[in-house]
Amino acid sequence: MGSGKETKVDHEVVDRMKNVLIEMKVEVDKPRVDTPRAGLLGQGASGESLKKQLDLASERISSSLSQLSDAVIKFYDGTDRAAKEMTSADEDAGDWGRVLDAGVAMVSQPLHMGLGKDDRPDALPIPIPFLPIPPELLQEMQSRAEIVGTSSGEDGA
């Protein structure tokens, strides 16, 4: 519409961003955190306690990486959907802009556009701005108003 507030989608930037997200997901999915096998840290209570802590840490790291991978996929999908929606919104806004411009042009026209012109020399100079009534009917209405006005004036005398 020319207001300077259009939302344009730079598909090149969106595609680069989506490629970065794909690369990020591949990198996030690469690491594998394995838990130490039994007895590797020793047979005593300290070794068992350390193994429990490492197992818990490994589980949390794996869970975090999995959630990060899922989040990257959702971000990728959201970016793609947002770009499509913005493109659609631009097209819809263009359509609405044309409708709005046409409406403004129509409203900017003079309201009477020659309707209601009364060519009789004795016609009262009453402007009839916007009634879409044929001139003949307006003349008839004015004549009847004059008759009613004169007849009511005689009754009052």
pLDDT of residue 127: 58
pLDDT of residue 89: 77
Residue 65 near residue 34 (C-beta atoms within 8 A): no
| pLDDT tens by residue, 101-117 | 777 776 666 555 555 55
pLDDT of residue 124: 60
User: Packing angle between helix 45-108 and helix 11-29, nearest 10 degrees?
Assistant: 170
Q: Terminal CA-to-CA distance of the chain, rounded, Å?
A: 65
Which residues of the chain, if any, have pLDDT below 70? Answer: 1-7, 39, 106-133, 148-157
Residue type, 64: S
Q: Which residues contact 112 (CB under 8 A, 6 or more apart)?
A: 127, 128, 129, 130
| pLDDT tens by residue, 76-104 | 998 888 888 888 877 777 777 777 777 77
| CA angle (40, 44, 46) in 5-degree steps | 85
pLDDT of residue 156: 47
pLDDT of residue 5: 59
pLDDT of residue 44: 78
Tell me how far apart the alpha carbons of residues 116 and 57 are, in angstroms, rounded to a whole number.
Answer: 88
| Backbone φ and ψ of 132, nearest 5° | -85, 60
